[in-house]
Amino acid sequence: MCVSNICEEHAKNELERLAKLIYYYDRLYYLKDASPISDYEYDALRIRNKEIEMRFPDLVRFDSPSKRIGVEGSERFDKVEHRVPMLSIENALSDKEVYEFIKRIKRFLRLSKESFLEFTVEPKIDGLSLALRYERGELIYASTRGDGRFGEDLTANARVIPDIPCVLRGICPKVLEVRGEVYMNHKDFLDLNKEQKKIGCMIFSNPRNAASGSLRQFDVSVTAARRLKFFAYGWGVVSDIPSDTQLGMVKCLSHYGFRVNPLTELCHNAESMIRSYRFFEKNRFALSYEIDGVVYKVNSLFLQKRLSCLSRSPRWAIAYKFLPEKAMTVLRAIDIHVGRTGVLTPVALFDPVIVRGVVMKKATLHNDYYISGDRRDLRLGDTVIVQRAGDVIPQIVDILLEKRLNTSIPYMFPSSCPSCHSPIVRYGQGYRCIKGLLCPAQALERLHHFVNAFNIKGLGIERIKKFFYSVSSSIAIKSPVDIFTLENRQKCSLDLNKLENMKGFGKQSLRKIYNAINARRVVVLSHFLFSLGIPHVGELVALRLARYYISYALFENSVKESLRNKDKTLNKAFKELLSIEGIGLVIAEAILNFYNDEYNSIFLERLLKEITILDEECFSIGNSPFLGKTIVFTGCLKAMSRAEAKTRIKNLGAKAANSISFKTDLLVIGSAPGLKLKKAADLGIQMMNEEEWMAIISSYDHVH
């Protein structure tokens, strides 16, 4: 659905779905070296999330992908803190977005349209980001990006990569953190996969995953044998900046002994930037390594500092990604996946096809409308066009009707649930199974959701399936309660049903699972409410409920009171529930329906005997003088643009508003103020001039 047409309730649900989905894909990409969707599809998810947030700024989630960089590092490696956050780069997918990028910069800096700006352009290497800290010219540690604040310590592995000097050349800053990309060229990638196949080991799907997997090894000799390479392109902490431009800094890195990309060049306008992109797009296959676009950066370091950064990316840089490639294959089957809430999602299975070294076998079809609606008529046996941008699962973009078999027939969507064979009903543009937890597929997905919400380590989806489908009463886990009774049931079981005697479960690994389960017997209220899997109650809604009621006892009593009186218009508890920010009628009814269900009541009674729910703590982001305040600006600011000023106060925990109201806490006055000044005076709102405001924020401002 187009963002301009969605309602607020739909937007909330969509942002919740996108936050979970993007986090799931990020974990696979950064920790498992796996890419289940294409770069293009992933970027499309982030773009949709951003568009919805721009239309509904009050709905931005605390766990929004727009605020997050990567994911937390693997527990296999020690963590290293980035003194300067290691950010991601915003993406552009069209020429128009590059022009908009330049306009935003000029607008932020209050430069005229004709103002001269220099940008560096460099190929975007498809590899693994690495930060290298040097002190007095010697390599101290190397770490991955991780979640932007903490990365994985891979110092020993970095030392065996020939392109990474252990000691720098010449005179360099006392402290220098160099950032760049570890990658593997095409020939070494193909040679590695040949060797892996010969010895019966895992075949890597693409050079990026091969580079990441090769670097993140406990055995350093494996890393050394993989012929990894490194391009330096940036920096973090530097005790003494040796240049005042991006290109100058890259040249300095070259003098210190690093390999830098010789194709990096300067551009002076949008047209030359686009020409550079076209050149790399046309000639990328002639390169010995994989690139998936180009990166533009403002050349002036002074302007970079003024532009500062958003929560997950710098304002002064953008990556223009190549559009996805396409391939032809044959559709063989359509599988139906049943999700946690009973929604049926069709998945296309087709003949394996290789695009730029990646094998692709399936793609989501979203719903039945995607198969047979909007002039589509997808049939088994059809020859289809799929596209990708560097990963595994593609998107079906076209059907070659001229190749269709005469014997083909239209696809008929199933009339019952493939898991429990119960009737299905229309749900939005798709279908939904109505059996709830009596449907095995939904029960399994709900169980998986609970484990993720409680963050119980050692219980991945495959292991959960083994427990779920077990016929032994001492092993089976059919509901979340069974997770917490597993250890006691095992103690009372016969040797035949002892997990420690089964393949994949040794005493040590089993003890780790029990410890992980027991560590989650105490949970805060917001996590508990989210874990229940109540429809429409995502992490943000659960957090809002928890912060309002504080304790589970108060929340439960309010729900029970709401259920007692059937006339909701006279029910104080129900009215109170609806008064909570972000809680509408749909969510409130979903909560009551969940608690009114007899099966859920029994489940909750049993679960509460196994766990302790802690009260929710109040949230604070620091001791900023503007924390929680609503601030409005009027007049022309001398020190910075209005956009930059709003960014400063947001970093200090305040909210920037455009108009004066009773909710306004402070009016900052620039030169030639407008009507806001009079309205603020009439309402008795606190006011200060720009100089007073600047004096205060200079003591608290942490924007780099």
Is 258:178 a contact under the CB 8 Å cutoff? yes
Alpha carbons 682 and 138: distance in angstroms, whole number = 63
Is 318:90 a contact under the CB 8 Å cutoff? yes
For residue 129, what are the β-bridge partners? 181
Active site residue 124: yes
Alpha carbons 532 and 594: distance in angstroms, whole number = 9
User: What interhelical angle do 440-454 and 480-491 show, nearest 10?
Assistant: 80
Is 126:295 a contact under the CB 8 Å cutoff? no
Can you give the three-state secondary structure of 47-58, one letter per residue? HHHHHHHHHCHH
Residues with Cβ < 8 Å from 96, sequence gap 6 or more?
none
Name residue 417's amino acid. Answer: C
Alpha carbons 573 and 562: distance in angstroms, whole number = 5
> Of the listed 96, 103, 106, 124, which one is catalytic?
124
180 — alpha (psi -120 to 50), left (phi > 0) or beta?
A: beta
Alpha carbons 115 and 102: distance in angstroms, whole number = 11
Which pair of tokens denotes residue 217?
């090894």
Helices (H), 308-439: 368-372
- 80 vs 67, 217, 615, CA distance in Å? 20, 17, 32
- Report residue 83: phi and psi, to 5°: -60, -40
**DSSP label at 571?**
-
- Report residue 520: phi and psi, to 5°: -110, 20
Which pair of tokens denotes residue 170?
């010449």
- Number of neighbouring beta carbons within 10 Å of residue 221: 9
The catalytic residues are 124
